[in-house]
Amino acid sequence: MARILVTLAAVLLLAVPAWAAGVTVAVNAEATVSGPHITLGELATITGDDRERVKALSALKLGAAPSPGHRLVLTGDTLGVRLAGAGGDYSDITWQVPPAITVTTAAQTISGERLLAAATAAVQSLVGGDADSEISIVPVGTAPDVMAPLGRLDIQAEIPGGVRLNAPTAVVVAISTDGRPFTTVSVRFNVRGYQQVVVAARNIAAHEEITAENVRSERRDIGKMAGYITDISKVIGLAARRPVPAGTPLTEAAVDKPVVMKRGAAVTILVKAGDLVVAAGGQAMQAGREGELIRVQNAATKRIVSARVVDANTVQVIIYGGR
């Protein structure tokens, strides 16, 4: 191998006499390459009568090219090493090699604004929105300009973790040229969703009935809210489970049907069996909301049963039939 390298170096530095040369390789002091590999045809002008040999020498790969837009400098020695590694046929070649060869990879610039626009469009396609909501998409920082290889560009943005309203949303922008993946750029966004939600217009006490006077609609960031309510009509007539300070959004967990039956109230106990309805007097042993099961005592038999609250004065015993 050492002999081969020495021979190649000698060949590159000393031109073979013209009478012995079938092919001439004139290496340029400056060369521009376009692909991921350096080829001899991009570094030099190759001439000769043997077209097939000239073609083969032109396609000879001499290692990886520098990154797009960047450059490297080869000397005669390093070019000889690369030629040895390529394993070509260098017999009867006249070499014309300058002391240094500057190799630059051609590139196209993709602006950070273009990458940011692709990422923003990906987020917008997922968040949608409607007439009652508003989405704010704000990038965290900027996207850098990217030097990419020449060729047909393909820019695709993906959101691996999905859009998040309570934490930064990460978007990965993949860049390909002529169908070959090149690199990826990560962009982050603060995505906020705003909607009109129901909030307490004043302090609402526990078990207080909700009316049109003690609630209102306000635009709020819903990113960290759960179970929020957007329709005021859905809470009117309900009751607060616990105290709700003024300005606090009402949630499904914070409201419930009001207590309509008080503990100790005199009630009518209904028992239905087919078309037959039997009524008896009784007493509520606990308070209850419409539709809730509570314990009631039959006034005549003193028997305690479970019954569903119908209204403030009526309960119904549920009879389950089976076969």
**pLDDT for res 3:** 44
Cα end-to-end distance, the chain, whole Å: 95
Residue 309 CB partners (closer than 8 Å, separation 6+) = 260, 261, 288, 289, 290, 291, 292, 293, 294, 315
**pLDDT for res 321:** 56
The reported pTM is 0.61
How far is 1 from 11, CA to CA, in rounded Å? 15
**pLDDT for res 131:** 52
Please determine, for residue 204, whether its predicted confidence score (pLDDT) is greater than 70.
yes
The per-residue pLDDT for range 71-99, each reduced to its tens digit, is 999 999 999 999 999 987 888 899 999 99
The per-residue pLDDT for range 148-184, each reduced to its tens digit, is 999 999 999 999 999 988 889 999 999 999 999 999 9
- Write the DSSP symbol of residue 249: B
How far is 267 from 296, CA to CA, in rounded Å? 8
The per-residue pLDDT for range 96-130, each reduced to its tens digit, is 999 999 999 999 999 999 999 999 999 999 887 55
**pLDDT for res 132:** 59
Task: With CA atoms as reference, report the closest residue to 251 among 266, 234, 263.
Answer: 234
- Measured from the Cβ of residue 31, the count of other Cβ atoms closer than 10 Å reads 18
Which residues are 124's β-sheet partners? none
| Per-residue tokens: 158 | 């993906």
Please determine, for residue 47, whether its predicted confidence score (pLDDT) is greater than 90.
yes
